[in-house]
Amino acid sequence: MPVVHATATATGQDTRVPLSANQAGRVALATGPDGWLKPPCHFGFWIQGPIDPGLVARTLTIIMRRHTALRYAFDGRPDTALCRAPSGVHWPLKVVDLRGPATATREDRLRAELAELRTPFALGDTPLARAVLVRHEESRSLLGIAVDHIVFDGGSVSPFLRDFESLYQSLAEGVQSASMRPGSDFADFAAREQRWLASGDGRESIRHWAGRWPRRGPFQPIPLPAPGDEPAGVPPAGTWSRDIAPEALDAARRSAGAPRGAGPLCMVTAALVTAARSVHPSAGYGLVFPFSRRVWPGTRHGIGYYNNRLFLSVPEGAPDFSSAVQGVQEELAHALNHGMVPFELLLRRFSPEYYDRKPPGTYMFVNITTNPVAPRLPGARTDFTWLKPEPGQASVRGLTIDCEVRTDRSIHLSAAYSTRRYDRNVVEEVLGEAGRLLSPA
């Protein structure tokens, strides 16, 4: 991939910039035969108090002009994009006033607005961002944000919110802010990634994954029973949830002989593997999990597609929680030591048959999230929200587990699964056992 990078923050003209390897993978998906589109990164915050739509629109546009990734325009080229000049972009804001209708109608319209906000972008859309400000009740509003994942990852949410707080307050007070200066330049990251992949360290990490990549690809099927004859009217997706208190998770670590540093991803994954092995004892497991913020200078507080996915292989073993925790910890250490290699590059190189991420079997996906701090706004109280879809609306191919780590160190587990692919009773048994392992009596 040729480096055609001119520093995009230093020019007032449109600039051709290189794509990162993961961005190139997304372009291949979008331009492939299936036209694969991913739902955007969507989030928002409730505002109790005054909010000025004009200042919101100006704030959003300044954020877009600060960070080069938000100005990218994709024209189908496999390895470059066009970074638009700052003066040529603005962040679209839709303002909706729902303060008049009755409560039931207001909630229906809110759901419709959020469904529209979550609509996937087409690769050629410009910009790849939208926003809606819903005046929900007197003195209560919701600002919803959606940005395509090819230019914005989950780790970009906190830098965005910090920018929004600083800029909105400065505009309201009529003063200058440091956040008005140029921000992160994603082309710098992509160029550095190219150099690293060609270096000795990069080649060594690729060799590491070549030795561990499974022959069947990273999306390994979950060997759980298929459903029998379901009664008519059973929804296509089942759901489950469980809250785990901090002291319960500490007790689970002690019972498993795990160090206090064993994080939620390790503990939740080990509990799920242990519970699933009680149904299918000999099974090994493969897990693809998100690893956000590849740490190079300028990435920690930048906005762009910096995150990565890693493959975690959990070998076969007995249904023992302690052994599972130890095995997951060891695999996590191996994966994180080589976490700079782009997952999309590995997928194209070692499993090209799964370029579209549509393996024949269903697999388990574990997602760890934390709630960022909502921006402080003058005279208002704010609360962050991920704007999750209604239960059953999302497309569920297998078993998806969300683990939300809260500020008090408790975790909220929620799962969605396909009732067409898995026996509801077996899945409920597996998830219930995982919950018990994480919250021992």
For residue 221, CA distances in Å to 121, 218, 286, 395 come to: 29, 9, 8, 17
For residue 237, CA distances in Å to 394, 398, 422, 423 come to: 9, 10, 10, 11
pLDDT band at 318 (very low <50, low <70, confident <90, very high): low
Contacts of 217 (CB under 8 A, 6+ apart): 350, 351, 353, 354, 359
Three-class SS state of 290: strand
pLDDT at residue 352 greater than cutoff 90: no
pLDDT single digits (tens) 134-167: 999 999 999 999 999 999 999 999 999 999 999 9
Helix, strand and coil in the chain, % to nearest 5: 40, 20, 40
Domains, in order of start, for the chain? 8-190 (3.30.559.10), 215-438 (3.30.559.30)
pLDDT single digits (tens) 223-252: 777 777 666 666 777 889 999 999 999 999
Three-class SS state of 372: coil
For 51-86, b/e burial (b = at least 16 CB within 10 A) is beeebbbbbbbbbbbbbbbbbbbbeeeebbbbbbeb
pLDDT single digits (tens) 362-407: 677 788 888 899 999 999 999 999 998 765 544 556 778 889 999 8
Mean pLDDT, to the nearest integer, of 87-102? 94
pLDDT single digits (tens) 240-283: 999 999 999 999 999 999 988 899 989 999 999 899 888 877 66
Task: Work out whether the CA dihedral 276, 281, 283, 284 comes out positive or negative.
Answer: positive
pTM for the whole structure: 0.91
Token pair in block for residue 142? 């919701």
